[in-house]
Amino acid sequence: MSRPASMSLRAAALSVLVLGSDAGAQIAPSSGPASPPGQAVREIPPAFRGLWAHVAADCRAGLSAIRAAPVLTIDAEGLKQMEGGFVVTRVTRTPGDLERISLDAHNSGGGEDWDTVEEFTLSKDRRILDWRRLAPDPGPATRLHRCR
């Protein structure tokens, strides 16, 4: 099923899956394997996981403000936000490019389900993540800032 026009993961209000308090908030670690370059697995590599915001200042506002801000969580299995998210069905690393992965994902939200191909590219310092939908409906990259 194609993505409904009324639903855009990037435009939806985002929520956060955080463990702990303001001082000790962290993303639950995963002990699963990282994807070797050129090979597919079903888990997002640790370098891409974390709490991300569209505006870096939202990261510095404290946990209570983060929960109200456009922040999302990427964990080993996928991406989580208020109106839905996606579950990874395959992760592929580009040979020779450890900062870029492509994901086949099963999305849900607004009472609908659909499949997409997403691309995540990390900056060299791993503080910026560019997220781009490749299919269906390819679009420009959305820049995210690492909070935790």
Residues 92, 45: Cα–Cα separation, whole Å: 10
pLDDT at 123: 97
Global pTM reads 0.69
Report, in this order, helix, strand and coil percent for the chain, each rounded to 5.
10, 45, 45
pLDDT band at 20 (very low <50, low <70, confident <90, very high): very low
- Give the percent of the chain with pLDDT over 70: 64
Residue 96 has pLDDT above 50, yes or no: yes
Which of 21-30, 103-112, 134-143: highest mean pLDDT?
134-143
* 22 class by beta-carbon count within 10 Å (0-12 exposed, 13-18 middle, 19+ buried): exposed
How sure is the predictor about 28, in pLDDT bands with cuts at 50, 70 and 90? very low
Residue 23 has pLDDT above 90, yes or no: no
Average pLDDT, stretch 130-144?
A: 94
115-144 mean pLDDT: 95
Task: Tell me which residue of 123, 86, 80, 96 sits closest to 38, measured CA to CA.
Answer: 96
Residue with the bigger pLDDT between 27 and 8: it is 8
